[in-house]
Structures are given as C-alpha cells and as structure tokens.
C-alpha cells in the first residue's frame, strides 16, 4: 500500500517526551501518526481508521480562540509550558478539579493511579483553585474528579462552594459506588447544587467490569442510576472502550441507556488510551479510533443510529471527538436531531450534560419551581370534573420527545499525541501547584511511566 | 386523568381572605400553554399550585420544555 502524507504536526517522543516533528500519513484507509526522536528512533501509531470521515472532520476547520488569561510563559515549547501558555488555542470549557487521589476501586485502566492514602486538598485550597478560575473570566463548567471524589465526606460542601462562587454547572465524575450504597447521598449532592453525574459505565455484563475495573459492578451501576433519577440528577454513561473487552457491548450500552431516559441523558464513549508504564508500545490492535466507534454504533444498533448522524464536537479540535444529538421517539427509538452547533457544553464531549449551554440559565431557574409560570383564568365555566385537572400536562409529557446525546472523545497518550489537537484542548485540569493544564498534557506519561505534569499531591508544596 | 382534590378544608387566599375556587387556568411556560383545572382566588387571580404538582408533573413539563 502506498503512503500518503495528509498533514504535518508535532508530537512527543514516547520515551523521553521531547517535542518532535510528526506527520499524519494515510496507509490505505487508515491514518497513522509517524514521528522520530533523534535518540529513540521512529514510532508509528494508528489514529483514525477511515479516510472519508478523516476528511469530513477536517472540513469543520479550527475553532481556535486565544485563552483570555495565560499564566505561564512560552519557554520550552508545547507541551512543556502548560499553565496555560500564550501558544494555547482554546479557552477552558470544562475544568477538572481533582479533589482526591484516593479511590474505592482498583482499576487497571485508571488515569489517576489511585493511591490509597494521600492528603486531599482541603476546602480552602479548592476554593483557591476556583478563585484562580474566576480570574480567567469566561464561565467554565466544573468537573469534580479524582481519584474517586465520593471518598471525601465533604463532597457536598465542595459542590456548594463551587455554586457559591458562581460556577453554574457542576458535574461529578464517579464510579457510582457510594451513590449506590448510601441512600440519600444523591439527594444530598443534588441539594448542594450538583447538576449531573458522569458515571463510569463500561458495559452491561459483569465480565466487562471484572476485566476493566476488577470487580462485579453492574448491580452497583443500576442502583446508582436509580438513585440519581430519584434525586433528579441527570446521568451521562461513560464507557471506556477497550478492544477485545467491551467494543461488542456498544449497542447494548446504548439500549441500556435508552431504557433509562430521561434519567440517563447521554452516552459518552472514551476509547482506551495508555498512561503509566508501557515498556513496549501498545499495539494498534489494542486501540479503537473514533470512526470505528461511530461505525460500531451503526452496526450494533442495526442502523437506528447512523455514522452519518455524527459530527465533530463543538470547540475542541475536530479530531478529538464526535457528537450527535438525537431525540427518543415514543417507540423508544432514536432519531437524529439537529447537528451540534458550536460552543462550550453544546455537545456532551465530556463536558456538560447533553443540554445546550443556553439552557444553563434555565436550569438554574428550575430550582425556583413554578416561579417561571404565567397563569391566567381561561374561561369562567367550572370544570366538568370537580378536582384539580392536569390532563393537559400528562398528555404533553406522554408525547414529549426527550433529547439524547451520543458522543465520544479520544484522549491522547504519549504515542498518539498530536500537539495540534492538544493546543486546542478545552478540557483543563487545575494542578496541585495551581496551574491550568490541558487534560491530555496533564495525564501524559512516558513509556516508563514518568509523568509530564502529574505529581502526587504529597510531593507538592501546597500553600 | 383527573386527580381529586383531597385538600379537605377549604383554602383561602392569603391576601384577599376569599375562598379559592376551582377553575380553568391557562398556565404557560416558555411560550407553551396548558389548560388545567386549579384553585384560584376569585379576588386577585392568585393560582394555588399544590407542592406535589409543582415538584411533580409541572416540573417535568418545565424540564421537557427546557430540554427542547
Ligand atoms: S498544551 Fe497549550 S498550554 Fe500547554 S504548552 Fe501547549 S500550547 Fe501551551
Ligand atoms: S486534547 Fe484530549 S482532553 Fe483535550 S479535547 Fe482533545 S482529546 Fe479531549
Ligand atoms: Zn526520545
């Protein structure tokens, strides 16, 4: 097969993490990232299987925008100057706060290496992070993340603090264990102002959970969703897709989600990426790329969802994600809705809750129940049936078509990192030393497991 | 479906002291109107929305409308 150069970009050497030139090269229908380190040799990694969508995604063009506030100077070049540096090309849309490094599970695929003991940042420190974000001006969505945030007993207080400081959208990334086990916990978080739960949800069989998370968790997930529904918390299911483990469950995951609409608002797929120690480069067969996820969605739903229903995400680099808006018809089937527009939170690309950003204000208002209604006397005549009659509400609800989002984001690792994508990253993390770092830079580790940025909290001098 | 008003004792308008009476009310939200039968004050037009309704069906309707 003849190779065809599609684009030049930059990446890092997976061994020493130095910045190196890279090329996107098509071989047959597949797109690979090629790069060479003067010291550690050449590397080639699959990034996109499907030239047609590669070109379609390219057509969207860049939504680049300079971040309003930058804190770190350009010194060593991307990705070594994060904080955000002036070279960055996108605002913060979602900001992750890692409120703990502890976890109540031991997952082989986890980003955070989930240490059992650690000192969590205290509320004052978290408040300092929030104030840092306030200085950045534009409103951001807060994702409480970890570790597993729910191991902290003061999590509701943290949620309330975010809301108090004017952050209008707060989401929780969780494995669902505590939500399931502790009745009333979901309600407590909702009352504190939590908007939505991003629930790790890797499949609809316990075998998948045992392989990816090391425990039987399906019952836990079901209970967690039920509890969120009762508390009025929207749920987004977040499967990590691992070839050979759960790619075959994509259709069943979607069916499971649709059976739980409107409690479940979206499914957000995350193809596995490789952090930590990998003495040998992960094989291409151990990667699933975004176009394959879209094709599997079409195949595994017998065409109810079409690959052509999807478009690149909103503000991030086009090759970072796909996103589709649907509505659930009366028969429980999905129908494609309008193509996603631009802007932060408009897609559910790991950010937002499947609701358009414009609805945030409305969501706030929702807490003043019935306060937004206008009422006037209709006709003087008494109702035929004595009693409060709300048949028209019920008729409306019966016919209402719930909206539903399906999206995916391909996180980058040391092998497939494309700095053009990274510079347009809009999902950021506040680091323990109070810098704002693009997510895929923050989690980057070399083949030997050396992190580019992430340091365990206890190694950092906290104020 | 019609829910019987099981409120029991007559409710009065806090402002006008008049007994609330059942009547057709046009309730609208985000430009959508619904005709429902609710208790109104014949004096000031105040409409009484039972909490269960406000936090139940009515909230669901709100969410559905916002969700569009
Ligand atoms: S990822 Fe963004 S903030 Fe980090 S070094 Fe590159 S351009 Fe700067
Ligand atoms: S760089 Fe990573 S985190 Fe940022 S938008 Fe792209 S895939 Fe998502
Ligand atoms: Zn190297």
Say if residue A292 is exposed, middle or buried (CB neighbours under 10 Å; 0-12, 13-18, 19+): buried
Interval A106-112 mean pLDDT = 62
Range of the domain at A54: 3-58
Among chain A residues, CA nearest to B6: A387
Residue A462 pLDDT: 27
> Does the CB of B37 have a partner CB in chain A at under 8 Å?
yes
With a pLDDT cut of 70, the percent of chain A lying above it is: 84
A85 and A24 together in one domain: no
Q: Where are the domains of chain B?
A: 4-67
For residue A65, report the distance from its CA to the centre of ligand 1, in Å.
Answer: 13
Token pair belonging to B18: 């008049």
Task: Let me know: does A164 contact A211? Beta carbons within 8 Å.
Answer: no
Report whether CATH 3.10.20 matches the domain B4-67: yes
Shortest CA gap A367–chain B (Å): 9
Query: Which of A60, A22, A51, A20 lies closest to A37, judged by CA?
Result: A20
A115 and A10 together in one domain: no
User: Is A87 near ligand 1, meaning CB less than 6 Å away?
Assistant: yes
| Interface test mutation site (partner A, options B5, B63, B65, max chain A beta carbons within 10 A) | B63
A250 and A334 together in one domain: yes
Backbone angles phi, psi at A392, to 5 degrees: -70, -35
Higher pLDDT, A357 or A380: A380
Higher pLDDT, A373 or A328: A328
Instruction: Specify the pTM.
Output: 0.81
A70 and A218 together in one domain: yes
For residue A77, report the distance from its CA to the centre of ligand 1, in Å.
Answer: 8
One DSSP character per residue, A329-351 reads -TTS-EEE-SPP-SSTTTS-SSS
The yes-or-no verdict on residue A428 having pLDDT over 90 is: yes
Q: Note whether residue A382 is domain-resident.
A: no
Helix (H) or strand (E) holding A285: none
A191 and A96 together in one domain: yes
User: Is A161 near ligand 1, meaning CB less than 6 Å away?
Assistant: no
Interval A358-364 mean pLDDT = 36
User: How far, in Å, CA of B54 to CA of A228, rounded?
Assistant: 20
Token pair belonging to A337: 């809705």
A40 and A104 together in one domain: no
Q: pLDDT-based confidence at A65, cuts 50/70/90?
A: confident
User: Would you tell me which residues 2-31 of chain B have a C-beta closer than 8 angstroms to some C-beta of chain A?
Assistant: 2-5, 22-30
CATH number of the domain within which A296 lies: 3.20.20.70
User: How far, in Å, CA of A95 to CA of A428, rounded?
Assistant: 5
Task: Name the 3-class secondary structure at A461.
Answer: coil
B25 and A388 within 8 Å at the Cβ level: the answer is no
What is the β-pairing status of strands A234-238 and A170-174?
Answer: unpaired
Q: Note whether residue A14 is domain-resident.
A: yes
Say if residue A73 is exposed, middle or buried (CB neighbours under 10 Å; 0-12, 13-18, 19+): exposed
A39 and A134 together in one domain: no
> Does the CB of A381 have a partner CB in chain B at under 8 Å?
yes
Backbone angles phi, psi at A139, to 5 degrees: -70, 140
For residue A36, report the distance from its CA to the centre of ligand 3, in Å.
Answer: 8
The yes-or-no verdict on residue A45 having pLDDT over 90 is: yes
Q: What is the pLDDT of residues A128-180, one digit of tens each?
A: 999 999 987 667 899 999 889 999 999 999 999 999 998 988 999 999 999 99
A375 and B47 within 8 Å at the Cβ level: the answer is yes
Torsion of CA A85, A86, A88, A93, to 10 degrees: 80
The yes-or-no verdict on residue A82 having pLDDT over 50 is: yes
Q: Note whether residue A351 is domain-resident.
A: no
Token pair belonging to A315: 């503000």
Token pair belonging to A373: 């209604």
Q: What is the pLDDT of residues A394-421, one digit of tens each?
A: 777 776 777 899 999 999 999 999 999 9
A339 and A290 together in one domain: yes
Query: Which of A226, A197, A200 lies closest to A215, judged by CA?
Result: A200
A177 and A40 together in one domain: no
Q: pLDDT-based confidence at A212, cuts 50/70/90?
A: confident
Task: Count the domains in chain A.
Answer: 2
User: Is A14 near ligand 1, meaning CB less than 6 Å away?
Assistant: no
Helix (H) or strand (E) holding A170: strand A170-174
Strand partners, A7: A24
Helix (H) or strand (E) holding A256: helix A250-258
The answer, yes or no, to whether the previous bond of A262 is cis (omega within 30 of 0) is: yes
Helix (H) or strand (E) holding A163: helix A155-164
Backbone angles phi, psi at A129, to 5 degrees: -60, -45
In residues, how long is chain B?
Answer: 68
A151 and A15 together in one domain: no
Q: What is the pLDDT of residues B30-47, one digit of tens each?
A: 778 888 888 888 888 888
Task: Name the 3-class secondary structure at A457.
Answer: helix
Interval A45-62 mean pLDDT = 94
A16 and A163 together in one domain: no
Token pair belonging to A332: 């429980």
Q: What is the pLDDT of residues A263-311, one digit of tens each?
A: 999 999 999 999 887 778 899 999 999 999 999 999 999 999 999 999 9
Residue B7 pLDDT: 43
Q: Note whether residue A421 is domain-resident.
A: yes
Q: pLDDT-based confidence at B9, cuts 50/70/90?
A: low
């Amino acid at each position: 097969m003849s190779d065809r150069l599609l684009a030049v970009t930059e990446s890092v050497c997976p061994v020493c993490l130095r910045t190196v030139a890279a090329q996107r090269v098509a071989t047959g229908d597949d797109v690979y990232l090629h790069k060479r380190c003067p010291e550690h040799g050449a590397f080639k990694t699959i990034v996109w299987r499907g030239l047609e969508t590669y070109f379609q995604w390219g057509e969207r063009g860049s939504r680049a925008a300079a971040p309003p506030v930058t804190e770190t100077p350009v010194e060593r070049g991307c990705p070594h100057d994060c904080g955000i540096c002036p070279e960055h090309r996108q605002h913060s849309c979602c900001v992750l706060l890692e409120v703990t490094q502890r976890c109540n599970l031991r997952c082989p695929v986890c980003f955070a290496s989930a240490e059992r003991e650690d000192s969590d940042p205290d509320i004052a420190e978290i408040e300092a992070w929030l104030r840092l974000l306030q200085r950045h001006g534009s409103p951001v969505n807060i994702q409480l993340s970890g570790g597993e945030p729910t191991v902290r007993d003061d999590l509701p207080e943290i949620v309330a603090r975010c809301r108090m400081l004017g952050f209008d959208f707060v989401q929780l990334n969780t494995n669902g264990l505590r939500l399931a086990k502790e009745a009333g916990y979901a309600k407590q978080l909702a009352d504190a102002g939590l908007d939505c739960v991003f629930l790790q949800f890797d499949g609809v069989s316990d075998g998948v959970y045992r392989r990816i998370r090391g425990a039987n968790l399906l019952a836990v997930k079901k209970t967690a969703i039920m509890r969120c529904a009762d508390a009025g918390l929207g749920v987004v299911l977040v499967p990590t897709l691992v070839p050979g483990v759960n790619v075959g469950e994509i259709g069943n995951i979607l069916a499971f989600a649709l059976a739980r609409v409107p409690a479940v608002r979206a499914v957000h797929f995350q193809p596995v990426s490789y952090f930590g120690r990998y003495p040998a480069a992960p094989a291409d067969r151990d990667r699933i790329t975004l176009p394959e996820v879209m094709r599997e969605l079409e195949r595994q739903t017998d065409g109810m969802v079409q690959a052509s229903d999807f478009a690149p995400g909103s503000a991030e680099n086009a090759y970072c994600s796909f996103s589709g808006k649907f509505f659930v018809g009366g028969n429980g089937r999905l129908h494609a809705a309008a193509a996603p527009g631009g802007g932060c939170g408009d897609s559910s690309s790991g950010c937002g809750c499947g609701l358009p950003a414009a609805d945030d204000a409305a969501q706030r208002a929702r807490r003043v129940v019935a306060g937004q209604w206008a009422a006037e006397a209709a006709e003087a005549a008494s109702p035929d049936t004595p009693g409060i009659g709300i048949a028209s509400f019920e008729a409306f609800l019966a016919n209402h078509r719930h909206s539903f989002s399906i999206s995916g984001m391909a996180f980058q690792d040391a092998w497939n990192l494309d700095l053009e994508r990274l510079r347009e990253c809009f999902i950021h993390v506040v680091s323990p030393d109070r810098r704002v770092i693009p997510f895929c830079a923050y989690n980057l580790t070399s083949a030997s497991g050396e992190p580019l940025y992430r340091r365990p909290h206890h190694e950092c001098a906290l104020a | 479906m019609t829910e019987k008003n099981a409120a029991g004792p007559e409710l009065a308008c806090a402002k006008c002291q008049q007994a609330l009476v059942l009547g057709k009310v046009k309730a609208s939200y985000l430009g959508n109107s619904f005709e429902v039968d609710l208790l109104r004050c014949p004096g000031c037009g105040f409409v009484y929305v039972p909490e269960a309704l406000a936090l139940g069906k009515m909230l669901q309707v709100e969410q559905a409308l916002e969700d569009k």
